[in-house]
Amino acid sequence: MLWVGLTGGIASGKTTVAEMLRQRSVPVVDADLFAHQALQALRPELIQIFGSSILNRAGDVDRKSLGHLVFSDKKKLSQLESLVHPWIQEKVRQERQKLASQGHDLAVYDVPLLFEKNLQDQFDKILVVYLPQELSLKRLAQRNQISPKEATRRMSHQIDIEDKKLKADFVIDNQGSLQDLEKQVEQWLSVIKK
Protein backbone atom coordinates (compact mmCIF):
# COMPACT_ATOMS: atom_id res chain seq x y z
CA MET A 1 0.00 0.00 0.00
CA LEU A 2 1.26 3.45 -0.92
CA TRP A 3 1.33 5.57 2.26
CA VAL A 4 1.14 9.31 1.52
CA GLY A 5 1.66 12.11 4.03
CA LEU A 6 -0.67 15.07 3.50
CA THR A 7 0.51 18.32 5.07
CA GLY A 8 0.74 22.06 4.52
CA GLY A 9 0.61 25.29 6.45
CA ILE A 10 -1.93 25.99 9.14
CA ALA A 11 -5.28 26.94 7.50
CA SER A 12 -3.93 26.08 4.03
CA GLY A 13 -6.82 23.82 3.03
CA LYS A 14 -5.55 20.37 4.09
CA THR A 15 -8.93 19.45 5.53
CA THR A 16 -10.69 20.38 2.29
CA VAL A 17 -8.24 18.29 0.23
CA ALA A 18 -8.61 15.39 2.68
CA GLU A 19 -12.40 15.53 2.29
CA MET A 20 -12.09 15.58 -1.51
CA LEU A 21 -9.91 12.47 -1.30
CA ARG A 22 -12.44 10.73 0.96
CA GLN A 23 -15.19 11.54 -1.57
CA ARG A 24 -13.07 9.68 -4.12
CA SER A 25 -12.85 6.60 -1.86
CA VAL A 26 -9.28 7.23 -0.71
CA PRO A 27 -8.87 6.32 2.97
CA VAL A 28 -7.62 9.35 4.93
CA VAL A 29 -6.28 8.98 8.45
CA ASP A 30 -6.74 12.21 10.41
CA ALA A 31 -4.03 13.23 12.92
CA ASP A 32 -6.35 15.88 14.42
CA LEU A 33 -9.03 13.27 15.13
CA PHE A 34 -6.47 11.13 16.94
CA ALA A 35 -5.24 14.24 18.77
CA HIS A 36 -8.80 14.89 20.04
CA GLN A 37 -9.05 11.27 21.17
CA ALA A 38 -5.63 11.46 22.82
CA LEU A 39 -6.65 14.48 24.89
CA GLN A 40 -9.61 12.59 26.32
CA ALA A 41 -7.71 9.30 26.75
CA LEU A 42 -4.83 11.09 28.50
CA ARG A 43 -7.08 13.43 30.51
CA PRO A 44 -5.79 12.36 33.99
CA GLU A 45 -2.15 12.86 32.96
CA LEU A 46 -2.94 16.22 31.38
CA ILE A 47 -4.71 17.45 34.51
CA GLN A 48 -1.74 16.35 36.60
CA ILE A 49 0.66 18.34 34.39
CA PHE A 50 -1.43 21.40 33.47
CA GLY A 51 -4.09 21.59 36.17
CA SER A 52 -7.88 21.56 36.02
CA SER A 53 -8.05 24.97 34.30
CA ILE A 54 -7.76 23.07 30.98
CA LEU A 55 -11.19 21.47 31.51
CA ASN A 56 -14.51 22.76 30.23
CA ARG A 57 -17.73 22.71 32.25
CA ALA A 58 -18.46 19.13 31.21
CA GLY A 59 -15.08 18.05 32.56
CA ASP A 60 -13.54 17.38 29.15
CA VAL A 61 -10.20 18.79 28.03
CA ASP A 62 -10.89 22.15 26.39
CA ARG A 63 -8.58 22.45 23.38
CA LYS A 64 -8.81 26.22 23.29
CA SER A 65 -7.74 26.60 26.94
CA LEU A 66 -4.99 24.02 26.54
CA GLY A 67 -3.82 25.66 23.29
CA HIS A 68 -3.69 29.09 24.91
CA LEU A 69 -1.58 27.62 27.72
CA VAL A 70 0.92 25.65 25.63
CA PHE A 71 1.37 28.00 22.67
CA SER A 72 2.66 30.68 25.03
CA ASP A 73 5.20 28.37 26.74
CA LYS A 74 7.60 26.15 24.79
CA LYS A 75 8.29 23.94 27.81
CA LYS A 76 4.57 23.25 28.28
CA LEU A 77 4.15 22.60 24.56
CA SER A 78 7.01 20.10 24.70
CA GLN A 79 5.40 18.38 27.73
CA LEU A 80 2.10 18.09 25.89
CA GLU A 81 3.72 16.72 22.74
CA SER A 82 5.83 14.16 24.62
CA LEU A 83 2.63 12.75 26.08
CA VAL A 84 0.27 13.00 23.10
CA HIS A 85 2.52 12.18 20.12
CA PRO A 86 3.48 8.61 21.12
CA TRP A 87 -0.21 7.83 21.74
CA ILE A 88 -1.12 9.18 18.29
CA GLN A 89 1.75 7.34 16.56
CA GLU A 90 0.55 4.01 17.96
CA LYS A 91 -3.02 4.65 16.77
CA VAL A 92 -1.75 5.61 13.30
CA ARG A 93 0.40 2.46 13.12
CA GLN A 94 -2.66 0.34 13.93
CA GLU A 95 -4.83 2.16 11.37
CA ARG A 96 -2.20 1.82 8.65
CA GLN A 97 -1.91 -1.91 9.30
CA LYS A 98 -5.68 -2.27 9.15
CA LEU A 99 -5.95 -0.41 5.82
CA ALA A 100 -3.15 -2.49 4.28
CA SER A 101 -4.79 -5.72 5.44
CA GLN A 102 -8.07 -4.56 3.85
CA GLY A 103 -6.28 -4.42 0.50
CA HIS A 104 -6.14 -0.67 -0.12
CA ASP A 105 -3.47 0.33 -2.64
CA LEU A 106 -3.37 3.97 -1.43
CA ALA A 107 -3.96 5.64 1.94
CA VAL A 108 -3.30 9.19 3.08
CA TYR A 109 -2.30 10.44 6.52
CA ASP A 110 -3.39 14.06 7.12
CA VAL A 111 -0.70 15.30 9.51
CA PRO A 112 -0.12 19.06 10.00
CA LEU A 113 3.26 18.70 11.75
CA LEU A 114 4.79 16.14 9.37
CA PHE A 115 8.04 18.04 8.82
CA GLU A 116 8.12 19.67 12.25
CA LYS A 117 8.12 16.22 13.89
CA ASN A 118 10.51 14.72 11.30
CA LEU A 119 7.97 12.13 10.15
CA GLN A 120 8.89 12.34 6.45
CA ASP A 121 10.76 8.99 6.48
CA GLN A 122 7.51 7.23 7.43
CA PHE A 123 5.94 7.97 4.03
CA ASP A 124 6.33 6.74 0.46
CA LYS A 125 5.35 10.19 -0.85
CA ILE A 126 4.48 13.59 0.60
CA LEU A 127 1.73 15.90 -0.67
CA VAL A 128 1.77 19.56 0.45
CA VAL A 129 -1.27 21.83 0.21
CA TYR A 130 0.24 25.23 -0.48
CA LEU A 131 -1.12 28.63 0.46
CA PRO A 132 1.14 31.66 0.98
CA GLN A 133 1.65 32.57 4.61
CA GLU A 134 -0.21 35.89 4.50
CA LEU A 135 -3.36 34.18 3.19
CA SER A 136 -3.05 31.38 5.75
CA LEU A 137 -2.76 33.94 8.56
CA LYS A 138 -5.98 35.64 7.43
CA ARG A 139 -7.85 32.34 7.19
CA LEU A 140 -6.57 31.14 10.55
CA ALA A 141 -7.59 34.35 12.34
CA GLN A 142 -11.07 34.23 10.78
CA ARG A 143 -11.62 30.48 11.20
CA ASN A 144 -10.50 30.30 14.83
CA GLN A 145 -11.77 33.79 15.73
CA ILE A 146 -8.37 34.83 17.09
CA SER A 147 -6.35 38.00 16.71
CA PRO A 148 -3.79 38.36 13.90
CA LYS A 149 -1.12 38.43 16.64
CA GLU A 150 -2.32 35.09 18.05
CA ALA A 151 -2.52 33.61 14.54
CA THR A 152 1.07 34.68 13.88
CA ARG A 153 2.20 33.18 17.18
CA ARG A 154 0.56 29.83 16.39
CA MET A 155 1.99 29.81 12.90
CA SER A 156 5.48 30.45 14.29
CA HIS A 157 5.46 26.87 15.63
CA GLN A 158 5.44 25.51 12.08
CA ILE A 159 8.11 25.32 9.41
CA ASP A 160 7.69 28.00 6.74
CA ILE A 161 5.31 26.89 3.98
CA GLU A 162 7.89 27.73 1.31
CA ASP A 163 10.27 25.17 2.89
CA LYS A 164 7.51 22.57 3.06
CA LYS A 165 6.78 23.15 -0.61
CA LEU A 166 10.43 22.45 -1.49
CA LYS A 167 10.45 19.19 0.51
CA ALA A 168 7.24 17.84 -1.06
CA ASP A 169 6.95 15.17 -3.72
CA PHE A 170 3.70 16.79 -4.86
CA VAL A 171 2.18 20.26 -4.32
CA ILE A 172 -1.45 21.30 -4.60
CA ASP A 173 -1.75 25.10 -4.82
CA ASN A 174 -4.84 26.35 -2.98
CA GLN A 175 -4.82 29.99 -4.13
CA GLY A 176 -7.60 29.49 -6.66
CA SER A 177 -11.24 28.47 -6.53
CA LEU A 178 -12.73 25.31 -5.08
CA GLN A 179 -13.09 24.04 -8.66
CA ASP A 180 -9.36 24.59 -9.24
CA LEU A 181 -8.65 22.63 -6.08
CA GLU A 182 -10.91 19.77 -7.22
CA LYS A 183 -9.08 19.63 -10.57
CA GLN A 184 -5.70 19.46 -8.87
CA VAL A 185 -6.87 16.67 -6.56
CA GLU A 186 -8.12 14.71 -9.61
CA GLN A 187 -4.82 15.27 -11.42
CA TRP A 188 -2.81 14.20 -8.39
CA LEU A 189 -4.87 11.03 -8.03
CA SER A 190 -4.37 10.09 -11.67
CA VAL A 191 -0.59 10.55 -11.27
CA ILE A 192 -0.23 8.77 -7.92
CA LYS A 193 -2.28 5.74 -9.01
CA LYS A 194 -0.05 5.05 -12.03
Q: Report the pLDDT value the prediction gives residue 151, as an integer from 0 to 100.
A: 66
Residue 120 lies in a domain: yes
Other Cβ atoms less than 10 A from the Cβ of 52: the count is 9
pTM of the model: 0.84
Residue 151 lies in a domain: yes
Domain count, the chain: 1
Structure confidence at residue 64 as a pLDDT band (50, 70, 90) = confident
Residue 173 lies in a domain: yes
Pairing of strands 125-130, 28-30: unpaired
Once rounded to an integer, what is the mean pLDDT over residues 117-141? 88
User: What confidence tens digit (pLDDT) does each residue in 84-128 have?
Assistant: 989 999 999 999 999 999 999 999 999 988 998 899 999 999 999
Nearest to 152, CA basis, from 13, 42, 11, 56? 11
Residue 50 lies in a domain: no
Calculate ∠ Cα 145-146-151, nearest 5°.
Answer: 130
CATH of the domain at 169: 3.40.50.300
Residue 45 lies in a domain: no
What residues make up the domain containing 122? 2-27+104-192
Pairing of strands 28-30, 170-173: unpaired
Instruction: Report the alpha-carbon distance of residue 86 to residue 48 in Å, rounded.
Output: 18
Comparing 46 with 148, the larger pLDDT belongs to 46
Residue 9 lies in a domain: yes
